[in-house]
Amino acid sequence: MNVQSLAFLAFLTVTVCACRLLGKKRRTWALLAASLVFYLWNGTPAAWWGCGLLLVSSAVSLLAANRLRKDRRKGVFLAAVCYHIVVLGAFKYTGFLTGGAVQTPFVPLGISFFTFQQIWYLREVYAGTFSQVPTPAEYLTYSFFFPTVSSGPILKPGNFFPQLRETSPLPQDTAAGLYAIGLGLAKKVLLADNLGVLVNNGWGSLSELTALTAWCVILGYTLQLYFDFSGYCDLAAGCARLLGLRLPINFDSPYRSLSVAEFWKRWHMTLTAFLRENVYFPLGGSRKGRGRTYLNILVVYLVSGIWHGAGWTFILWGLLHGLAQVLERLWGKRRDALPRWVRWAMTFLFINLAWVFFRAPDVSSALLLLKTAVTGGMGGIRLWLVNGLFRREISALELLLPVIGPYTAYLRVALILGIGLLAALWPRNVIRQMDTFRPNWRSGLYVLVWTVWAILSFTGVVTFIYSNF
């Protein structure tokens, strides 16, 4: 189901009403039914086969966990984890590993998030840090929870299951949830999707870019990815809050970071937590000497790159982030002594450049864009770069102010990049605001305007970027 659609808003309304009318005891069944409807909404064979596969994988996790509670055999734990990794690898990486010679007929929606979530559950049961025994309905709700199934955040079992049994929606949850949903829609539709227009136009004509336009494309994707993922996290948190559940914070103003290490404490925080607890610590963390610590960091971010996508560009992106953190550690206190604005500028520049590999279809295209950004020469903004960007809004503005016609290309770029930077660096975290949110007529009007504008501007972009991973 397309989250940015009237159909989803209607589906959410029905789900919230059903959960509240049925009460806490029957809420799990309502959430499970809604989650399966969400997953199977399109009715395609791929959706049905994907759902069936994830149901089987959930059953494997349940059976393994029941066995581990009786006898914590390492072999059972490793066998279950290997099963999930093999399934993920078979459906997501077969094409990459075979050079395209063999392709799977479909990739289950959200399988990357699903796999890490299953592994997290198994590890906590094996370690004895999670003792609650969920019912099959509760566990399937954990696996298919519709606000998080496609793009996260990755749910830690110790945080999710107690809420499912014990919490109920509070009066203030409704206002806070609607606030987050409204701002999430605005981030996705008004910012991310419009930035995507600029970015796609640029990547579609790499050979025609100048240095200036190349940097516009680079910065545009940095902001597009942020608002796409951050917007989804706000939407997911808002939907969950309407249902009486609190999701973990997954974003905390990451572009304010003064180091790459700090960036990963703020960006996709649940993924960072998973990799720290399930990869970095088991490898020895920082307890086995400096050289081993650096190697462990590289392994963690190699895993992060592979998890994000099947391609050399993702692997290179992950290794770049690992190497950056190793270099920061080697630099040590001398780097910390630099002015804050210098550390921020260095970090933000690196993140922008690394995202090029994340977006690029191949390494050669990424290198071409980076080369153009340095040697592309001077030149203005071409009209084709902003074709489709704020189309309806600019048309209305030109009717009111015909004199701006020749400058609309510059106006669109300056508007989208300027507003994007300001919105990424200045406001408080939306999910943090929800905990202390108190509705009033100003905030209500504010959210209403953004929500209506977003609904009227639904672009037809049916996926969030992270739902492809």
| Enzyme catalytic residues | 308
- DSSP assignment of 268-334: SHHHHHHHIIIIITTTTTTSS-HHHHHHHHHHHHHHHHHHH-SSHHHHHHHHHHHHHHHHHHHHTHH
Q: Token pair of 440, please?
A: 């009033």
Of the candidates 199, 193, 191, 197, the one whose C-alpha atom is nearest the C-alpha of residue 215 is 199
Of the candidates 183, 200, 123, 189, the one whose C-alpha atom is nearest the C-alpha of residue 154 is 123
Instruction: Characterise 244 by phi-psi region: left (phi > 0), alpha (psi -120 to 50), beta (else).
Output: left
Task: Classify each residue of 312-333 as buried b or exposed e, where b means 16 or more C-beta atoms within 10 Å of its C-beta.
Answer: ebbbbbbbbbbebbbebbeeee
Q: Check: CB of residue 40 under 8 Å from CB of residue 48.
A: yes
| Residue in the block written with tokens 């260095």 | 346
Q: Which residues are CB-contacts of 355 (< 8 A; sequence separation ≥ 6)? A: 218, 221, 222, 225, 317
| Residue in the block written with tokens 């590890």 | 123
CA distance 407 to 397: 12
Of the candidates 29, 98, 429, 389, the one whose C-alpha atom is nearest the C-alpha of residue 216 is 389
Q: How far is CA 177 from the centre of its chain?
A: 19
- DSSP assignment of 17-82: HHHHHH-HHHHHHHHHHHHHHHHHTT--HHHHHHHHHHHHHHHHHHHHHHHHHH---HHHHHHHHH
Q: In degrees, to the nearest 5, what angle opens at C-alpha 297 toward C-alphas 296 and 301?
A: 115
